[in-house]
Structure formats: structure tokens, C-alpha cells
Amino acid sequence: MGFDRNFTVGLIWRLALLQLALVGVGWAFLTPGLGATRIMACLVAMGAIALLWSHVFRTNMDVARFVEALHHGDLSAHFEGRPGSGFEQMGKAFDSAIRRLREERRAASDELGFLEALVNDVPVPLLTVSGDGQVSLANKAARRLFTAHDGVRAEDFAVYGATFASRLDLDGPLVAEVLILNLNGRAHRAIVNTAGLTRLGTRARAVIVQPVQDTLNAVEMAAQTDLVRVLTHEILNSLTPVTSLAATASGLMREIDDPRVADARLAIETLERRAEGLARFINSYRKVASEPHVERKRFEAAPFTSEMVRLFAAEWPAVDIQLSLTPPAFIIDADPDLLAQAVINLMRNAGEAASSHSETPRVILSMERQANAQVLIAVRDNGAGVPEDLRRDVFLPFFTTRAKGTGVGLNLVRQIAVAHGGTVDVHGSELGGARFELLI
């Protein structure tokens, strides 16, 4: 690298011309009576200086323009290296380096685009906290999950839970824990994992939120069904020989005409009846141990709910039943048979609760399509309601608060909800009774 030949030759003859011009100026000023010659000599000297300055300045401008382009990140620039401008070999080296930088930037840009797309499409919600405390929803999953807040500070996320908001504070602890978040008006368990980062020399934080409520519901339902399956199997295995022996003994005793055996025969017959009744009771509960098989279909909400109302009105003619759809027409994506079974169970419970508590029993069935494409089905009544301390227990198998209840209906409703990837909850109703909400 260095000066090229054209630049060197041009520089030498311009220096020589300048030197001759300066000698001419000196001779003209030392010789008396050459006024016009002095002026011409000065003009020639000034022209030589201009030629020398232009020659050097042109090279400096080429280098300055190239460096300025790099300063602004313009890797499309190249060093012109015109013949005679100087530094032609250096320009070729600059251009080679720029081409390599362009290739590396293109590769880095492609990799960055891939990573951004990966983060944006990963199904686990991710939030980031910058050094100034600003919270950003870093991917689609986070933007779908967190929709109720207004603001970008940690305290603005307190609507989802005070503990969760504290984890978005840069000074909060870095832990992995299970928190209860308020999402869409419901309590959901989620694994929240926080990590400290450094971004552009300042502290930052990444927060990963993994909702696990649906998984926990599915695991709980599977555990319940497994438990019921084992219990019913073992109880029936033990009860079958008891029933058989009681029937045999009762038959034999009928052939003995002895008053002393009458009491024993009566006891055996009672044992036989109770054993058979217990067997029927256990068999009736075995359906709880069968997980619902969902066959999804798309169907209109209006005809479906109208049929539910007609069925309910035929069974409970004394109960005032009302229907509400929002919007008036929309499509449901679910198993219509299973969903009908769940809705009828909820409506029957509501009808019985309202009839036994109010002189003017009233039930409202409402169905609403939400912004996230979920469907919320609510059944409200003006019955006695469900005490707050029992609202989780009512969905357990065999648990009931009614004298003639079996404890199966609400558990089946929950199984159907979980099988659809949804939830079922009970709250207080504005009518004074209970409000059961089925979300699918």
C-alpha cells in the first residue's frame, strides 16, 4: 500500500512547478523595473500552489468521504481510488474490507431476524425489563396473555398480581416459582422464571411466564379418574363374593322351616339387598372414571342454546328461564354432545337450587364469544348459592351439598371442560344464588 505512480508523478511535477514559480518570483523582485513580470510571476506561483493543493485535497476528500460513510454505518460505500487521486492500493484494501463487513453484516442480520422470529413465535410468554424499568411484551404469546394492563412500568402489571409485579422490578429477587395470576378475571397458576441480564452496559431482566393451570387441571382429573377406577374395581371385587354368598345363604335358609332361623334369614336377606344396592351404586359411579372423548365440530350457538332452554323448560316448567347470547349469532368449536351434557347438568342444578329456595325460581343461561375466540357459558340462579369455602370442593367426585345429590354431575362438567382445554368455576350471582361459568 501507499502512494501510486500517477499520484507520485503528479505530485513531483507540481512541486517542481511551484519551485520554479517561487524562483521566478524571487528573480522578478530582485531585478529592478520588472513590475509587470513580478505580477505574472506571483500569478504563476499562486497557480502552482493551487494545482498542488487541488492534487492533495482531492485525495483527502476521497478518504474523508469514505470515512464519513463508515461513520454513518453505510457499508455500501466504496473507495473510488481514481487514477491520480492517490492511495489506490489502500483503496483496494478498504473496498475488500468493506465487502467482508457487508457479508458479515448480512449474515448477522439474517441470524438476528431468525432469533427475533424464534422469540416472537415461541409459545411461552416472555417479558423484558430494560435498564430504565420499562417492561416490554417480547413475543406474541406474552401479548396474547397480558391484555388487561395499561402502562409499561412494573406497577402497571399489578392487575395480574402484586407478587408478579414485584418480579418485574429490577431490584426484585431472581427466582423460579409458581404464582397465581389474575388472567381474564380468573385465577391461573403459572411458573414465573426471572433472570438478570446486561444490555448495553446496563442491568436488564427477562421474565418467562408459563401458565400451567390447564396442565394441573388435566393431571388432577386424571388422578381422580385413576383413583375412582381403582377404588370401584377393588370394592366390586370384594363385594361380588359377598353378594353371591349372601344370595346363596338366603336361598338355603328359605328351605328351612325353623323359627330360630327366621332372624338369621332376615339378616342375610338384608345383607343381600344392601350388597346389591351398593354394587349398583358403585357401578353408577364408574362413568366418572372414563375420560370424555372430544369430537369437535363447528355449530351455531343460537340453535344449540335454544334446544337447551326447551329441554330445561320441559323438565322445570315452573322455573323462569331466560337466554342471552353475545353476539346474537356465532360459531362454537366443541363437542356438541358433551357440551350439551355439561350445560344440562348446570341448568338442572340451577333449577333445583332455585326451586328449593325461592317462590319465584329463576335461571339465566348466557353464552358469550370473547375476543380471544373462547366461549363463556354462564348459568345463574336465585337459589341459596354455594358457600365460598365449598366452591372448590363441589367439583370433586362424590361431593355434594344436596340431600339427594350424587356428587357426579359437577365433576363430569369439569371433566368435559378440561377435555376441551377450558375451565369451570362457581361464583356468587347477582340474582342472589350461584353463577357457574364454563369456559371453552
Write the CATH number for 354: 3.30.565.10
* pLDDT tens-digit map of 163-180: 999 989 888 888 889 898
Out of 76-90, 183-197, 294-308, 392-406, least confident range: 76-90
Distance, C-alpha 201 to centroid of its chain: 29
284 & 328 share domain? no
258 & 347 share domain? no
Q: How far apart are CA 338 and CA 422, in angstroms?
A: 13
Q: How far apart are CA 189 and CA 177, in angstroms?
A: 10
Q: How many residues does the chain have?
A: 440
20 & 80 share domain? yes
> What pLDDT, on a 0 to 100 scale, did the predictor assign at position 383?
92
Bridge partners of 439, per DSSP, are 376, 423
pLDDT-derived band at 77 (thresholds 50, 70, 90) equals low
* pLDDT tens-digit map of 203-237: 999 999 998 877 777 777 677 676 666 666 667 77
> What pLDDT, on a 0 to 100 scale, did the predictor assign at position 332?
94
Q: Per the structure block, which three cell numbers stand in for 367?
A: 353464552
> What pLDDT, on a 0 to 100 scale, did the predictor assign at position 415?
84
Say how many domains are in the chain: 4
* pLDDT tens-digit map of 320-355: 999 999 999 999 999 999 899 899 999 999 999 999
Of the three residues 262, 289, 316, the one that is the final residue of a domain is 289
Q: What is the CATH number of the domain that holds 174?
A: 3.30.450.20
380 & 413 share domain? yes
**Whether pLDDT at 285 is above 50:** yes
pLDDT-derived band at 390 (thresholds 50, 70, 90) equals confident
Of the three residues 58, 73, 102, the one that is the final residue of a domain is 102
**Whether pLDDT at 82 is above 70:** no
* Residue 107, in any domain of the structure: no
353 & 260 share domain? no
337 & 281 share domain? no
- Contact partners, residue 400, CB within 8 Å, separation at least 6: 394, 406, 407
Residue 419, H or E segment: helix 409-419
CB 75 within 8 A of CB 101: yes
* Residue 108, in any domain of the structure: no
Out of 15-29, 145-159, 195-209, 274-288, least confident range: 274-288
* Residue 27, in any domain of the structure: yes
Q: How far apart are CA 218 and CA 133, in angstroms?
A: 37
431 & 322 share domain? yes
**Whether pLDDT at 34 is above 60:** yes
Pick from 302, 281, 282, 276: which is nearest to 367 by CA? 302
**Whether pLDDT at 398 is above 90:** no
* Residue 113, in any domain of the structure: no
64 & 153 share domain? no
**pTM of the complete model:** 0.53
63 & 139 share domain? no
> What pLDDT, on a 0 to 100 scale, did the predictor assign at position 408?
72
138 & 227 share domain? no
Q: How far apart are CA 362 and CA 154, in angstroms?
A: 44
* DSSP secondary structure of 29-41: HHSTT-HHHHHHH
Distance, C-alpha 186 to centroid of its chain: 15
Q: How far apart are CA 242 and CA 271, in angstroms?
A: 9
- Domain range holding 262? 216-289
* Residue 115, in any domain of the structure: no
> What pLDDT, on a 0 to 100 scale, did the predictor assign at position 435?
95
CB 1 within 8 A of CB 90: yes
362 & 264 share domain? no
pLDDT-derived band at 79 (thresholds 50, 70, 90) equals low
Q: Per the structure block, which three cell numbers stand in for 191?
A: 411458573
* DSSP secondary structure of 247-303: HHHHHHHHT---HHHHHHHHHHHHHHHHHHHHHHHHHHHGGGGS------EEEEHHH
366 & 248 share domain? no
Of the three residues 170, 192, 211, the one that is the final residue of a domain is 211
* Residue 111, in any domain of the structure: no
* Residue 281, in any domain of the structure: yes
Mean pLDDT of 363-373: 89
Bridge partners of 308, per DSSP, are none
Mean pLDDT, the chain, as a whole number?
Answer: 81
- Contact partners, residue 268, CB within 8 Å, separation at least 6: 246, 249, 250, 253
* Residue 114, in any domain of the structure: no
